[in-house]
Amino acid sequence: MKYQMYDLIEKKKRSEALTKDEIEYLISGYTKGEIPDYQMSAFLMAVCFNGMTDEETYEFTMAMEHSGDELDLSSIPGMKIDKHSTGGVGDKTTLVLAPLIASLGVPVAKMSGRGLGHTGGTIDKLEAFPGFQTGISEETFLSNVKEHHIAVAGQTKNLAPADKKIYALRDITATVNSIPLIASSIMSKKLASGADGICLDVKVGSGAFMKDLEEAKKLASTMVDIGRRANRKMVAVLTNMDEPLGFAVGNTLEVMEAIDSLKGNGPKDFMELIYALGTEMLLLADEDLTSEKAKELLKDAISSGKAYDTFKTFIEIQGGNPSDVDHIEDLLDASFVVKVPAEFEGYVKEIQAEEVGRASMILGGGRATKEDVIDMSVGVVLHKKVGDTVKKEDAIATIYGNNKESVDLAMEKIKDAYTFSKEAVTPKPMILEIIK
Ligand code: URA
């Protein structure tokens, strides 16, 4: 054996930096099962306390990226663009951005995840369309991007397997919460997915992984730095996740809101995010473009119906029925549709996004464990957002459920999620910072 794992743990405990060679040994040994969980756990805990240098974080990422399959997108002409969100409540952004950007001729090749806990995953939302295939072959993925500029697929089993194993260990050893570990975990999967340009949407706030702006900035710049070192074009947008995004939370309900948005009727906060991320994605693809021109192109793609048509094509080429896009409300099958009354007059001060996400989960719209089966039709539609005025007779939200008991529990969660104020409230800006 080239190194002793004991020595590497000792080194990190003393806050010393590991070499590229040592990191490669560590990642490959652990992936192959030659290094046991208890030693890897000790190492990860030492990283939580002592951090990693930029060089170490980069090498840790590269070693995880190279631990399994890597998608080669080089046969597709043009700058292939990917986006990634660190996860939020009501985050249906990919459903709108992917066809919007693709409709402008920029190839979008995106690997997405499933939801776990209070945040939803794009792959689950797309499965609201009967027949839609997220497990398409690499060949179909590549040919769809070549021909239609768009493909969204679930991560293959063998994408960054080192990260999969390490993440599962971090989850049960209280070692998730470390910026170099989070940044390398996310970036190893993004880099293995093969895009030339990556736009990161780093959520900040009560409903996000990162509750604090300074921490989120550190995470964003660490990921941007890793991507640059790996010769990718990078941008990170820090965005507000103090309240759910848009109004809808739940799979089919979010798809409905995404379709409305593609038709030009999206919620204000959501469209602000779409235009900000969309602009950055177009700038990654074409550095001669200005922000103003990019935004104009995006608005035109929506008002002309081009983005909507691309979404229909996308659903069709991945096995769904494009006419479901025109009649999406027919797919909603909830036996209880119940309004949540306002119990206060004044202004909405806060909406705890995490609580709204949990309400949707209780209704059956999310997973507590990987094996849970999702009810596509359930969820919550908010009617009042932060800053809105509320009167006693107003409904603050509507709950969609298929089980009376869970509807009652969700009702309590939604009521708890809201706080009100007698004084007017100004909502936080959606875009907090852009890191390039
Ligand atoms: N998401 C990931 O993929 N990895 C992390 O470490 C945290 C969030």
At residue 156 the predicted structure's pLDDT band, cuts being 50, 70 and 90, is confident
Q: How many CB atoms lie within 10 A of CB 373?
A: 7
Residue nearest to atom 5 of ligand 1 (CA): 182
Is residue 326 very low, low, confident or very high in pLDDT (cuts 50, 70, 90)?
very high
Pick from 100-104, 166-170, 340-344, 361-365 the range whose average pLDDT is largest. Answer: 100-104
pTM of the model: 0.94
Mean pLDDT of 321-345: 96
- Cβ–Cβ under 8 Å, residues 420 and 349: yes
Nearest ligand 1 atom, CA 189: 3
Q: Phi and psi of 22, rounded to 5°?
A: -65, -40
Instruction: Give the C-alpha separation, 284 to 223, whole Å.
Output: 16
CB within 8 A of 277, min separation 6: which ones?
83, 93, 97, 199, 201, 237
pLDDT of residue 254: 97
Quote the ligand 1 centre to 206 CA distance (angstroms): 17
Q: Which ligand 1 atom lies nearest to the CA of residue 185?
A: 4
Res 115: pLDDT = 63
Q: In this structure, which amino acid lies at residue 237? A: V
Residue found by looking up tokens 């959501």 in the block: 270
Residue 161 binned pLDDT confidence (cut-offs 50, 70, 90): very high
The predicted-structure confidence for 86-141, as pLDDT tens digits, reads as follows 988 999 999 999 999 999 999 999 988 766 566 668 888 999 999 999 889 999 99
- The pLDDT of residue 121 is 82
* Sequence-ordered strand ranges (E) for 275-410: 336-341, 346-351, 379-382, 389-390, 395-401
Q: What is the DSSP track for 68-134?
A: SB----TTS-S--EEEEE---TT--HHHHHHHHHHTTT--EEEEE---BTTB--HHHHHTTSTT--S
pLDDT of residue 209: 81
Q: List, for residues 209-232, the tens digit of each pLDDT value.
A: 888 999 999 999 999 999 999 999
Pairing of strands 197-204, 233-240: parallel
Best residue for ligand 1 mutational test, from 60, 185, 193, 198 (most atoms within 8 Å of Cβ): 185
- The yes-or-no answer on residue 428 being catalytic is no
pLDDT at 20 over 70: yes
Q: Which two tokens stand for residue 323?
A: 């006419």
Which residue, by CA, sits nearest to atom 1 of ligand 1?
186
Beta bridge partners of 198: 82, 234
Local structure of residue 329 (DSSP, 8 states): G
Q: Which amino acid is at 305?
A: G
Is the CB of 411 inside a 6 Å radius of any atom of ligand 1? no
Q: Which is it for strands 431-435 and 233-240: parallel, antiparallel or unpaired?
A: antiparallel
How would you classify the pairing of strands 379-382 and 431-435?
A: unpaired
Spatial separation of the C-alpha atoms in residues 230 and 173, rounded to whole Å: 30
pLDDT at res. 376: 94
Mean pLDDT computed over 348-363: 94
Is residue 371 pLDDT above 80, yes or no?
no
Q: What is the pLDDT of residue 15?
A: 98
185 lines ligand 1 (CB under 6 A): yes
**What's the 183 CA to ligand 1 centre distance in angstroms?**
7
Band of residue 416 on the pLDDT scale cut at 50, 70, 90: very high
Q: Is 376 in the pocket of ligand 1 (CB under 6 A)?
A: no
